[in-house]
């Protein structure tokens, strides 16, 4: 698993580095979505997370959730067109999960991509994500994740 400046980036995921979103293949052609430990660390203490509801169609670049912290209010955007099939209510009730379990309990939504093979081609596989994240961190003058990322 790549660890870049103290930030874990699991191998089994696919990443949209620019948007700081991860994707995990799950059963039946569905894809789970969340934000990276890097995004969470850069945002500061997350105080609210509001995922979009199931049944909603998203175009590439649309938000699947909104994050709020002391430093940031903004969207988590998807890289490809899809339909939301499930939302994570637990993250709304416990936004701190974004800090304690960004690649597990803090997932945002589950999507049914219009064309997953085409979408996957837009993403960076986990085993290749180290260098792109190092570049992103340098550009943002971000020194890295603290303990627990």
CATH number of the domain at 111, please: 2.40.50.100
Q: Is the pTM of this model over 0.85?
A: yes
pLDDT single digits (tens) 99-137:
999 999 999 999 999 999 999 999 999 999 999 999 999
140 pLDDT higher than 50:
yes
Examine residue 55 and state whether it is found in any structural domain, yes or no: yes
Both tokens of residue 98? 């974004």
Q: Which domain holds residue 103?
A: 23-117
pLDDT single digits (tens) 26-64:
989 999 999 999 999 988 899 999 999 999 999 999 999
Q: What pLDDT score was predicted for residue 5?
A: 86
Examine residue 128 and state whether it is found in any structural domain, yes or no: no
Examine residue 126 and state whether it is found in any structural domain, yes or no: no
38 in helix, strand or coil? helix
Q: Long-range contacts: 21-24, Cβ < 8 Å, 24+? A: 21/76, 21/77, 21/78, 21/79, 22/103, 23/120, 23/123, 24/103, 24/107
Q: How many domains does the chain have?
A: 1
Is the Cα torsion angle 53, 21, 100, 44 positive or negative in sign?
negative
Q: What pLDDT score was predicted for residue 148?
A: 43
End-to-end alpha carbon distance in the chain: 13
Examine residue 92 and state whether it is found in any structural domain, yes or no: yes
Burial of 138 (0-12, 13-18, 19+ CB in 10 A): exposed
């Amino acid at each position: 698993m790549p660890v870049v400046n103290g930030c874990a980036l699991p191998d089994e995921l696919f990443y949209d580095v620019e948007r700081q979103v991860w994707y995990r293949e799950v059963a039946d052609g569905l894809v789970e979505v969340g934000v990276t430990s890097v995004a969470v660390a850069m945002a500061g203490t997350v105080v609210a997370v509001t995922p979009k509801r199931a049944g909603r169609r998203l175009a590439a670049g649309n938000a699947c959730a909104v994050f709020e912290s002391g430093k940031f209010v903004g969207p988590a955007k998807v890289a490809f067109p899809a339909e939301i099939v499930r939302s994570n209510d637990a993250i709304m009730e416990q936004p701190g999960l974004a800090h304690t379990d960004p690649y597990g309990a803090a997932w945002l939504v589950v999507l049914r991509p219009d064309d997953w093979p085409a979408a996957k081609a837009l993403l960076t596989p986990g085993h290749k994500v180290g260098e792109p994240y190092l570049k992103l961190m340098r550009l943002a003058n971000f020194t890295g994740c603290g303990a627990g990322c």
